[in-house]
Amino acid sequence: MDVPTVYTVEVPMTSEDRTGHGYHVFTGPAANARQALEAARTAWQRAQEQLAAGGEVPRAGGMHWCARAARPGWTPDWDRAAARMRTLFAFDTAFETC
C-alpha cells in the first residue's frame, strides 16, 4: 500500500479583540513543507471566502486540505506558521484530513 507524505501546519491565531490566542491546525498531503504551508493558506482563504459569502466552510473530504472549524474574527499569523512532516503507517487507512 502506498502511504502519502502528510504534513501538519500549525498557525498561530489571534481574535479580533486580541483577547483570544490559539492555533489552527491543518493536515494534508504535500511534497515538502513549503507546499504544505501554501496548501494550508489556500484552504484558509477558500474558507474565509465561503464564510464571507454566507456559506459554510468547504469540506474537501479524504486526503485533501480544508479549514474545518475556521472561526470568523480570528486572524492567522502566517509568518509564524510551522509545517512538520507527519508519519503515517499503512494501517492508517481511515486517516482523513477533513
The radius of gyration of the chain's CA atoms, rounded to the nearest angstrom, is: 14
Largest Cα span, the chain: 48
What amino acid is encoded at 38 in this protein?
Answer: E
Res 88: pLDDT:
67
Q: Can you give 20-40 as a three-state secondary structure string?
A: CEEEEEEEEECCCHHHHHHHH
Q: Where are the alpha helices (DSSP H) in the chain?
A: 33-52
> What is this structure's pTM?
0.81
Q: What does the domain layout of the chain look like in residue ranges?
A: 6-86
| Mean per-residue pLDDT, 8-19 | 91
Q: How confident is the model at residue 98 (pLDDT cuts 50, 70, 90)?
A: low
